[in-house]
Amino acid sequence: MSTQTEEHGQHISQQFNAALEEVKTHMLEMGGAVEKQLSEAIDVVLNSDSGLGQRVIKEDDEIDAMERNIDEECSLIIARRQPAASDLRLVLAIIKTIRDLERIGDESSKIARMGVKLSESGDVAEGFVEFKYLSEKVRSLVNRALDSFARFDVEAALAVAQEDAEVDKYYASAIRSLITYMAEDPAQISRMLNLLWAFRALERVGDHAKNVSEHVIYLVRGTDIRHENLTEIAEQLVD
């Protein structure tokens, strides 16, 4: 191979690496926007801020646009570069992750809408302590899942996937408490249903954070851990 051909090949490789790094950066920027939207949606519920709620709902259009743009970037990389092995896994992991991020945006909008309705129906403290606790857990999962992607950290990603089970258990307990409260005070059923749907959206956000962590493990190790027993495979994934 001539020197000129070698230099051309290196240039193409550098362009490819730059394109991969750029699309990863855009995905993480989308993740940051989604984290902000989720945090604001939770504040709508906890602070009865209907004005903020309306802004959060409108922000979902921006999240959708980011997903479309990143998806197009990934499609162009596949069409033009025909990535293989780990490069292909990175592109596929990004495509899957932005879909989960878009779903988190949708769930954040639902939380905001429920928060607006709650702000219009008067003050009832029942369930809000549980909501605050669960929201902190879920926000942490989303943040750590994205951080594990940024650092290609399998151990951190596995921890997120495992901790989602704790979110599910706490969610189930909180829902039982809300149902008991509604049975004791039927006048609060309509209001409590709004809070119940906000809880449900939080639980779904946790599921999507778990999905992101699974994408990280697939990216780094080439292992699909969906539907697997996480306890059984933990030692296989972590050196």
Q: In this predicted model, what pLDDT tens digit does every residue of 16-32 receive, in sequence order?
A: 889 999 999 999 999 99
CA distances (Å), origin 161, targets 92, 144, 157, 165, 213: 19, 10, 6, 8, 6
- Answer whether residue 78 shows pLDDT above 60: yes
Tokens of residue 94, six digits: 């990004």
Gap between the Cα atoms of 165 and 187, Å rounded: 33
- Answer whether residue 205 shows pLDDT above 90: yes
CB 50 within 8 A of CB 116: yes
Q: Write down the pTM of the prediction.
A: 0.89
SS3 168: helix
pLDDT digits (tens, 9 = 90+) for 118-173: 888 766 667 889 999 999 999 999 999 999 999 999 999 999 999 999 999 999 99
Gap between the Cα atoms of 214 and 3, Å rounded: 42
Q: How confident is the model at residue 192 (pLDDT cuts 50, 70, 90)?
A: confident
Domains in the chain (CATH in brackets) are 3-237 (1.20.58.220)
Write down the pLDDT at residue 1: 45
